[in-house]
Each structure stands twice: as structure tokens, then as C-alpha cells.
Amino acid sequence: MARLIEDPKLLELFIRYAPAAIAMLDRQMQYLLVSDRWIEDYRLENTEIIGRSHYEVFPEIPERWRQDHQDCLAGKVEVLTSKEDSFVRTDGRLEWLRWQLRPWYNLEGEIGGLLIFSEIITKRKILEQQLIAEKELAQVTLSSIGDGVITTDALGKVSYLNPVAEQLTGWSLAEATGKAIGEVFRLIDCFSRKPLVNPVDLVLKNNRVRQLPKDTLLVAHDGTEIAIEDSVAPIKDTQGNLIGTVVVFRDVTKIYELTSKLSWQATHDTLTGLSNRLHFETQVKLAIEDSQDNNTHHVIAYLDLDRFKSVNDTCGHLAGDELLKQITALLKQRIRTSDVFARLGGDEFGILFYKCNFKIAQNIAEQLRCLVRDFDFVWQDRVFKISVSIGLAAIAPTTNNLTEILSRADAACYAAKKKGRNSVHLSKAIDY
């Protein structure tokens, strides 16, 4: 119960210099005393307010407030409080404030009027609205962009995922929030299949932007693997302290598949799926360098199908293509996984026997010759007997260059054909 201070001067000093906006009014809602803060906050002149009606000074006061005043004056309520309220000033400005309303009692214990305590919070409210608008704009932006976005706190715990990140990771925001980033954002190397160090951990450790290595796969919640590119940046407060990270990443699976396809097409024969001449010659170059640097030995073989032209001329190119595919599948049975098997063009093939003894290469070549010799190619009820001529050439530390070794292998293959086909000819029979 707010009772009247007996000393009027003390009461005036108490209210006038209070560090808050206070107004003391009588039962007719006329001003008795106001604090300097009240005058300042509402931009009033003290000489113009004392003795005047509160409703005259503020004619724009809402009807609901007037009813609150009457309820307090009638003793229906002891205290009314609003933490956030607003009214429109006569000049059109929207004023935000928080207030408290309570009756004061005279020495006889009767309600003598009202005490109004208020604080203008318009600037704070405008700032809050601006911050809310900026946050909503940021949320809309993050929700609209095509990249996945994940934010974490300073401990690497997930605090936010945008819809794209939810879709790519398979985690909803509700499921992921609070979990370690490594659980939600699982990364592996696409070749070794080994887990990668999470870039968020590196950013939190080194406080600088990190990029993902190439050929990174994201393992989604359901085990689906997605090729991604991403960057991780630190989030800092206004004092420069690290408070978290932001991960921005995109799905590049289609690009990765297209690149892989183009890379494969650039190095492989589309009909047989074997390496093409360019890739074969590149691998032979590397084998020559390896032999010269490390004293290793390799062997290359040139293979030329005998009587392929007769199949092509008699039955057409479709039959010729089918023959090449069947011969490829047949020869693959005896070629080691470490070796390079290539179609060099037409009915010519090449094999790089990597780190191979010359006698072992000769033995494999003989097996290949026998496979082709015993093979019957059937096309539209016609049966064709096929054979192969094979030339072998050794790659030794003394081998000079690619042209030399390819010429020797080609000459050996020609010699095998000249001998009557269906044979293996050695360019240089060396027992390593």
C-alpha cells in the first residue's frame, strides 16, 4: 500500500529527483507531482503540467488505460503492471513503454489518487524489431540458397542446419541440434574409404578458414554417399573471440560423375571398356621411368587378331564389334589385375605386364594365344575360327624411350604374323 509521505517537501524531492519517470495524480487524474525524468521522457514542460488533467496532457491515451485508472481508484486492484505496451502519440509516433500503476493512500487510509511509474522503451523495441527482421531475413536467405549450411558452437556441437543441409545429411534440425559435428557431418575419402578429419575441428583448433580436400564424400544419415565441396569458417563475436563455426557445402555428385565419366572416356575405349592407346602409352612411359630409376623390368605385348577382316567383311561391323567384345572378355581371364590391357585401334591390342619376368610374360602370352585359337565366334548360325599374333618386347633399365619399345613390340607382332599367324614372337628373349 503506497501511503502519502507526511512531509510535502520530502515527498516532492523524492518524486522529482527519482531516477525513473514517476507521476503522482489526484482522484480527478490531475497532476500533483512529476519527476524530472517524466518531463524528459515525454518532452513536457513542468510549468504546463502540474494541476492539469492527465487526459488533457495525453489525449491519445487508450480507453483501456483509462479503465485501468478507474479500477485502481475504485480499489478494485492494488497494482497493475505491463512489461511491454504501446500507444500512438498525437504526432503519429508509436511509443513503447513498460509501466506500473498503483493507488496512493492519504493519512486517513483512503485512496488519494494514483502513482504511475513508466519507462520509455521505444528505442529498445525498435532495435529488437530490427534484429528480428534481420534474423528473419537471414533465416529466409539461408533457407533459400542452394548450398547446405551448418553452424556449430565453440565445442563443435551443431546449432543450426538449413533445409538443404537437412536434405543432404539426412538429419533434421531437431535431431542434429546439440550433436557433435562429426556425427552429423561424416566425411570419407572416396578412394581410400577412410574417415577424414572433420574440417570444423581444424577450424576450432587453428581459428582460420579451411577447405575440404578433393574427392570428399559425405555419408548421410541413411548411409547414402554424396560428393561434396565445402568450406568452414570461424564465427567470432564483436571482441574477436571464437564462438563457433559455419560450414557451407554443396552437392557436386553430378559434376563429379560427369568429370569421372569424361576422364574415363578420355582414357578408355568405349566399345571394349579397355584402356585406349593414349592411356596405354602413358603407362608404358611410366614403366620405362620406373625401370630406369628403380632397376625394375616390365614387358609389353602387341596383339593382332588374325582373320578379323573376314568377319567384318562377311557379316558387317556389328559382328566385328561383337567379336572384339567377346575376345576382350576372353583375354581378361588370363591378364593380371596389375597389368594394363588396352585396345590400340581396330583389331589391335596392347598389354603392359607390369614388373614381370620375360618368361612369365611369354607364358601368359602363350595362354592367351591358346584361348583365342580354341575360341569359336558364332554369328547368325555361322562359326568363325579366330587366332592371334603376339609380339613381346622387354622394358629394361637400358630402354631409352617410348618410341623404341613400341617399335620393337610392333616389329615382333609383325614377325609373328609373317611366321604364319597364331604365334608368339619375342623381340628380345632375355632371362631376367
* DSSP H or E segment with residue 199: helix 199-206
**Can you list the residues of the chain whose pLDDT is less than 50?**
1, 429-432
Annotated catalytic residue: which of 313, 347, 374, 376? 347
φ and ψ at residue 338, rounded to 5 degrees: -80, -10
Pairing state of beta strands 111-120 and 298-306?
Answer: unpaired
Residue 124: alpha-carbon gap to chain centroid: 37
pLDDT of residue 142: 60
Domain 146-256 CATH class label: alpha beta
Contacts with 195 (C-beta within 8 Å, 6 or more apart), sequence order: 186, 187, 188
Cβ atoms 339, 354 nearer than 8 A:
yes
Q: Of 118, 85, 87, whose CA–CA distance to 101 is shortest?
A: 118
Beta strands in 89-144, from DSSP E residues, in sequence order: 94-105, 111-120
Q: Are 139 and 97 in contact (CB under 8 A)?
A: no
Helix, strand, coil percentages in the chain from 3-state DSSP, rounded to 5: 40, 30, 30
CATH class of segment(s) 2-125: alpha beta
CB-CB neighbours of 276 under 10 Å: 20
On whether the pTM is more than 0.85, the answer is: no
Q: Which amino acid is at 176?
A: A
Q: Which residues pair with 268 in a beta bridge?
A: 275
pLDDT given at position 262: 74
CATH 3.40.50.970 for domain 268-426, yes or no, is no
d(CA 376, CA 22): 109
- 347 in catalytic set: yes
Q: Cα(first)–Cα(last) distance of the chain, in Å?
A: 112
Over its C-alpha atoms, the chain yields an Rg (Å, rounded) of 45
pLDDT value, residue 428: 66
Domain ranges (residues) in the chain: 2-125, 146-256, 268-426
C-alpha grid cell for residue 252? Answer: 557436386
Asked if domains 2-125 and 146-256 share a fold, the reply is: yes
pLDDT at residue 430, rounded to an integer: 45
pLDDT of residue 183: 94
User: Which residue do the cell numbers 567377346 mark?
Assistant: 326
**What pLDDT is stored for residue 305 in this prediction?**
92
pLDDT of residue 370: 94
Task: Quote the CA–CA distance of 422 and 420 in Å, as a whole number.
Answer: 7
